[in-house]
Amino acid sequence: MDDDPYLWLEDVEGEAALEWVAERNAETEAALAAGSGFASLKERLREVLDASDRIPYAVRRGAFLYNFWRDAGHVRGVWRRTTTEQYRKDAPEWEVLLDIDALAAAEGEKWVWAGARVRHPAYDRALVCMSRDGGDAVVVREFDLATQAFVEGGFQVGEAKTRIGWIDADTVFIGTDFGPGSLTDAGYPRTVRRWRRGTPLEEAALVFEGETGDVATWGWRDTTPGYGRDFVGRSLDFFHSEVYVLDPDATLVRIDVPDDAITHVHRQHLLVTLKSDWLGQRAGSLLAFDFDAFLAGDRTAEVLFTPDERTALTGHSWTRHHLILETMRDVSTRIEVLTPTPVGGWAHKPLADVPALSTVTVIDTDPDISDEYFLDVSGFLQPSTLYHGQIGADTEILKQAPARFDTAGLAAEQFFATSQDGTRVPYFVIGPDRSLTGPGPALLYGYGGFEVSLTPYYEAVRGRAWLERGGTHVIANIRGGGEYGPDWHQAALGADRPRAFEDFAAVAEDLVARGITTPGMLGAAGGSNGGLLMGAMVTRYPQLFGAIVAQVPLLDMLRFHKLLAGASWIAEYGNPDNEADRPHLSALSPYHQLTADQIYPPVLLTTSTRDDRVHPGHARKAAARLRELGHPVLLHENTGGGHAGASDNEQSAHNNALMHTFLWRHLTRPVLPASG
C-alpha cells in the first residue's frame, strides 16, 4: 500500500486521531463491557491482582530485601524493604521508602515505577526511574536511602530512554538525549558519558560513542571489591554487540568474542554464551575463560554447557563461590550448581528437583558475600513456591502462593505437532479431558520471536477468566523463540519468518485433530511480536480460528522501522528500505495483506497511547483498514500503560476482562446447521 490513507492515525496524540480512537473505544466498551457478567469477571480478576497474600518477591541489597508492591490500597505502588528475619514471617514489617501514589498526587503526574539502581556496595543511594503513565522513556532522580527522600541538587535527568549507572558516590555513566545526534535511529542513547556530581549534565565527558544505525550504547562499572573495572559497549543490532574494557587512561580493549555472543564477567571469570559456532563449540554452548588470560590472547575454554536437539541454556546466576545453571529439556526447566575447582575444571551437581512441566526461576543471589539463593518454582496448575537456601546446605520454603482458581478436573499435558516442513513443534495444553467432554472452547497463545521462550507458569488471571469457565488454554513453543536455543530462533528470522506462522497453524490443526477443539471454538492471542503472529493468522490462516486478539501488535511491516523503537528490530525481520528485504516484508505485513474478498474471524486489537516501543499506529491503522473492508473488528486503546498496555491493576483487570469476554462470546456460539 504505497499510498497509505491512514498515515494520520500515526499522529499519536493528534486531535483527529484521538477523536477516532475515542469512538472506537466507545464501540468496544458498548460491545463487551456493557453485557451481563463483565463487571463480576473484572472484579474477580482485580481480586487476583490486588491479593494481599501474593508472594512479595524481593532482591537483596546489603542487609535488606527490597520489593515493589501494588495492591488495592497502593494503586501505583510502594518501594519498600525489610530484613531477612522479617521476610520469613507471614506478614513482614516493611519499611516504605517511596510511595508512588503519594508522589503522583503531590506532583500531578501519572508516575509509574520503572526500577531503581541502588549504589553498590554501600547501598546508600539509588537512581530511581519513573515513567509518565507507563512508557519506556523515564525520568531519573537520585534518592537517599537513609533519609528516604530525593536528593536536593542530586543527579536528575529529564524524560528520555536513559541508561544510567553508578561509577562511585559522585559519578555515573549516562546515556540520554543530549540533543541532535545523541540518539540512535531507534531512539536510544548513542553515546556514553561520565557525569560528575555538581556539574551540568551537558558537560558530562564523552567516553564512548556508537553509530546512529546501532540500537544503543551503554557503560557499566563493576564494583566487585578487588575487581573494579569499567565496561562500555554498543549494540550493533538486536543480536550483535561489541563489548570493551575501558582502561583508566581511556584506552578501549575489545573483549574479542563473536559479536553475536553474550559475555558476562564476574571476578576472574569470563562467561561466553554462544549464538553461533566458535572455537569448535556449537551455538548454544556456555564457555568459561580466565578473564585476564583471555585479554592476553589465551583461548583455553572450559565448556560448562553443550546443547543437543532437545536441550537449551536459559540462564545462569553467580553466588559467591558457585554458578547456578538453568537449562531446559523439551521446555521443562532443570537446574544445577557448577563450582570451579582448585585443580582446574568445574564440578557439576543438581541443585533442586523440579516437577515435570514446571519452571524454576532464580529470583536472586548474593554474588558478593554468600552462596545464598532464592528460587521460585511453579507450573500451569501449581502456584508458586519460593525457596531460600545456601548452596551446600538445606533449602527452606519461605513462601507459598495460595491457589487462585479451581483446578478440579484440569490437567496439563505436552504434545508435539508436525509443521509444514516436518519440524516437531512442542505445545502445552491445560484444561479438562476433552475425551470425556468433547471439543470445547480453546485459546492458543504464541510469541515466536527474539529468542523468547514460553515456559510453564501459573497464570491466575487466565485460570479465573478462562480455565474455570471450561476453556482450554494452549501455549505453542514455535520457532523464533528460544525453547531449543539459537537455532530454533534463527530458523524464523527475516525471510524465514513464515516458519513461525506455519508452526502455530500446525498446532491449531493438531488441536482439532486430537478432538480438543474445533476451528469455530479455537481462539488465538498474542502481543507485540506475538501481535504480528496474530496478524499472520488473520490473513494467512483465517479458516483455523473463531476469534483472534492482537495486543500492542506489530502489523505494518513496511513502516515499522520508522516508528518509535522499530529500527531496533531490523535484525529480526529485515529492513524495508533494503531492496532485498522489502519483498518478503511486504508479504509478511498483515496490514498490507488485508483484502475485502476474504472471510476473517472477528478481531480485537488492543494498544496504548503511551506505548513508545510498538507504535499504537499499528493497531489503529489495521482496525481502520478492517473496518473499511467490512470485516468484524474492535479496537481498545488504553490512554496509559506503555507497552504493557496497563499501568495499574485496574487497567490490567479491565483489559483482561475485555479480551476474555470477547473470546468467550465468539468461541461459545452454537454452530448453526447448514442450510439445505
Enumerate the active-site residues: 528, 643
Check if the beta carbon of residue 475 is closer than 8 Å to that of residue 427: yes
Which grid cell sits at 431?
A: 484444561
Closest listed residue to residue 44, CA positions, set 664, 662, 649:
649
Burial class (CB in 10 A: 0-12, 13-18, 19+), 244: middle
Check if the beta carbon of residue 355 is closer than 8 Å to that of residue 333: no
Cell 483487570 found at: 653
- Preceding omega of 121 cis (within 30 degrees of 0): yes
Task: From residue 93, give the alpha-carbon distance in Å to each of 375, 434, 675, 676.
Answer: 22, 47, 67, 71
* Residue 393 CB neighbour total at 10 angstroms: 9
H or E segment and range at residue 633: strand 633-638
H, E, C per residue of 224-280: CCCCCEEEEEEECCCCCEEEEEECCCCCEEECCCCCCCEEEEECCEEEEECCCCECC
CA distance 620 to 616: 6
Which grid cell sits at 537?
A: 493468522
Task: From residue 663, give the alpha-carbon distance in Å to each of 387, 465, 516, 645.
Answer: 37, 10, 17, 18
CA distance 177 to 183: 6
* Residue 226 CB neighbour total at 10 angstroms: 6
Helices (H), ranges, 495-648: 498-513, 529-540, 570-573, 582-588, 590-593, 617-628
Closest listed residue to residue 361, CA positions, set 328, 408, 402:
328
DSSP 337-350: EEEE-TTSSEEEEE
CA distance 462 to 445: 11
Closest listed residue to residue 347, CA positions, set 299, 293, 395, 391:
391
CA distance 433 to 415: 14
CA distance 69 to 55: 10
Beta strands 603-608 and 191-196 are unpaired
* Residue 288 CB neighbour total at 10 angstroms: 23
DSSP bridge partners of 387: 375, 397
CA distance 641 to 611: 7
Check if the beta carbon of residue 567 is closer than 8 Å to that of residue 531: no
* Residue 166 CB neighbour total at 10 angstroms: 21
| CA 494 distance to own-chain centroid | 21
Which grid cell sits at 252?
A: 578501549
**Residue 610 corresponds to which amino acid?**
R
